[in-house]
Chains A and B, each alone.
Chain A
Amino acid sequence: AQTVTQSQPEMSVQEAETVTLSCTYDTSESDYYLFWYKQPPSRQMILVIRQEAYKQQNATENRFSVNFQKAAKSFSLKISDSQLGDAAMYFCAYRRGQRGTSYGKLTFGQGTILTVHP
């Protein structure tokens, strides 16, 4: 079974600074997808960024980028120029690829609470 681990229960950052959230996962599959979701106090889960395992290039979405290390099974999220609105719980998630039989099932990490200080 696949597992996702986020070892940082809480992180904090000053506004305009950069912060990196860690995520490791365990899988025997070669085809999969990794995601970072953000859950603000409103509890609405919002997709931040996605990475396909077969792509070597790290995904980037504006101020958000990932460091995907497939061999190390590591998938960290870097938030640059942090803003107050970035404060939320961040979840790392795994999903098997096209050949998998788990279809759309997402396996989530425990989450990291990010606090942004003005």
Chain B
Amino acid sequence: KAGVTQTPRYLIKTRGQQVTLSCSPISGHRSVSWYQQTPGQGLQFLFEYFSETQRNKGNFPGRFSGRQFSNSRSEMNVSTLELGDSALYLCASSLGVRGPYEQYFGPGTRLTVT
């Protein structure tokens, strides 16, 4: 079974631009979560989607948004990019949102904002 895939793997953007990252979960998984990883802040939860609905949101500004499609694929968007948005963005999928469901991570998208 194919793992979680994320595209693109690397991205360089300029301050003020916007960016869209994509995540395809493992087949059959309906929950997708997003995390931001930086050297200073570590791993921080962005949001989680299940059945096309945002179920939970982390403490990030409104410039960070996301959505999930009917096939469970998810996208996250960051508008008006800032230098501090440079990070590794990780996507994780799981079968459901409750219970002992394990989360499986994708390889991440490395975003660099210049």
Contact = CB atoms under 8 A, between A and B. Distances in A.
Interface stretch (B13-21, B77-85, B102-110): B102-110
Nearest to A99: B98
Contacts, number: 65
A45 B107 CA distance: 7
B107 A43 contact: yes
Interface in A45-77: 45-47, 50, 52
Given A45-B105, A111-B42, A103 B100 contact: no
Interface residues of A, number: 24
Interface in B67-98: 88, 90, 92, 94, 97-98
B104 A47 contact: yes
Given A47-B102, A50-B102, A98-B99, A107 B90 contact: no
Interface string A26-37: 000000010101
B56 A102 contact: yes
**SS of B interface (majority):** strand
Given A33-B100, A98-B99, A107 B45 contact: yes
Contact of A105 (B42, B45, B99, B100): B45
Contacts of A42: 107
Contact of A106 (B35, B106, B110): B35
A44 B100 contact: no
Interface in A61-118: 91, 98, 101-111
21 contacts: A35-B102, A37-B105, A43-B88, A43-B107, A43-B110, A44-B107, A46-B105, A50-B100, A91-B43, A98-B98, A101-B56, A102-B56, A103-B31, A103-B55, A103-B98, A104-B33, A104-B94, A105-B45, A106-B33, A108-B42, A108-B43
Interface of B: 31, 33, 35, 42-43, 45, 48, 50, 55-56, 58, 88, 90, 92, 94, 97-108, 110
Interface of A: 33, 35, 37, 42-47, 50, 52, 91, 98, 101-111
Given A50-B100, A104-B98, A106-B43, 6 more contacts: A37-B105, A43-B88, A44-B108, A47-B102, A103-B97, A110-B42
